[in-house]
Amino acid sequence: MEFDLAFIWAGIIAFAVLTYVVLDGFDLGVGILFPFANSKKDRDTMMNSVAPIWDGNETWLVLGGGGLFAVFPLAYAVVMSALYMPIILMLLALVFRGVAFEYRWRTERWKKVWDLAFFGGSTIAALCQGIALGALVQGIAVTNRHYSGGWWDWLTPFSMLTGVAVVVGYALLGATWIMMKTEGAVHHRMRDLAKPLAIATLVFIALVSVWTPFQNPVYFERWFSMPGTLVTLPVPLILAFAVYKLFHGLANGRDVSPFLAAQSLFVISFIGIGISFYPMMVPPSLTIWDVAAPDSSLKFALVGTVVLVPLILGYTAYAYWVFRGKLDPEAGYH
């Protein structure tokens, strides 16, 4: 039996990107919410809730980039050229945010500087990821295997909307994560923030969904032709259920269900984007098969992926298990 390796790889890359969003979204959200904490102690607790795991989370972003380079090199080449500014800005923002985890414990005088770096880095990184998504949905001009647009093409009202939407959405993930991991004042502060953030996230999802077909009508058609229709039908139902669980959980003081419900909003939105895109890799002109590396590359990379990704998921789950439960805000200061 012949496998369609490019198709399998599109699925794997989509999985890696989704895993990145699910795992790093909330820890970027923690940074976005940093200024909203009421005290220095609360900020310490918030940062500690992601300190042992953020590095692993961010590695999925490296896999997204490295994986794209490996199996869809043309897509990697074209997209990186087209999204030059937001990508570089995101990388610099991640530098600031990443070092803040260690630096802010090494100084008293400059603690505020690294607090700001953590907040600013997280927010700009999230904004740039959203802008990159919006710019990709808009479409990228390609001629003769080269990006043929200008270096400001990514900046449009639509990409700004998707940028802000991702910031708000990540903040919701961060708020529900902190609720789940903490008790006391910081927990209640986040619960107060989560409700307006949830409403705002839903508004942004609606705005982006309505605006997307205007970027390219083909996105709309894909929802109502096979195989998209198979997913189109249950999407509103799942969405309604997630929204219900989110607000119900927030209203009733649940710890875990708001986080899971917020995450499922992201998963559903991601699947929605996937339906709009398929079978394009770089809209409007390059399909998955146009950009795929030769089969010998796809096969070789697939062997390792099939063996290693389950292992990675296993020990990642173990690391989360080790640091499970509510944080003790006094720990770490003896």
Determine if 256 is a binding residue for another protein (CB under 8 A): no
Assess contact for 32 and 126: CB atoms under 8 A. yes
- Taking the complex as a whole, how short is the minimal distance between the CB of residue 69 and another protein, in angstroms? 4
Q: Could you say which of 4, 145, 234, 244 contacts another protein (CB under 8 A)?
A: 145
Q: Could you say which of 22, 36, 56, 188 contacts another protein (CB under 8 A)?
A: 56
Determine if 151 is a binding residue for another protein (CB under 8 A): yes
Among the residues of 216-294, which ranges form H helices? 217-223, 228-232, 235-251, 257-277, 288-291
Determine if 119 is a binding residue for another protein (CB under 8 A): no
List of long-range contacts for 95-102, beta carbons under 8 Å, 24+ apart: 95/121, 96/120, 96/121, 97/28, 97/31, 97/121, 97/122, 97/125, 98/54, 98/55, 98/58, 101/47, 101/51, 101/54
Eight-class DSSP state of 39: S
Residues 219-248 that bind another protein (CB under 8 A): none
Complex with another protein: residue 42 or 58, whichever CB lies closer: 58
Kindly indicate which of the ranges 144-152, 220-228, 236-244, 253-261 contains the residues binding another protein, using the contact rule CB under 8 A.
144-152
Helix 111-138 / helix 40-50 crossing angle, nearest 10 deg: 50
What character string, x for contact with another protein (CB under 8 A) and - otherwise, covers 181-220? x---------------------------------------
Residues 282-321 that bind another protein (CB under 8 A): 293-294, 296-297, 300-301, 304-305, 308-309, 312, 315-316, 318-319
Determine if 148 is a binding residue for another protein (CB under 8 A): yes
Q: Could you say which of 17, 53, 132, 286 contacts another protein (CB under 8 A)?
A: 53
The angle subtended at Cα 264 by Cα 19 and Cα 36, nearest 5°, is 85
- Classify strands 142-143 and 146-147 as parallel, antiparallel or unpaired: antiparallel
Q: Could you say which of 40, 112, 146, 248 contacts another protein (CB under 8 A)?
A: 146
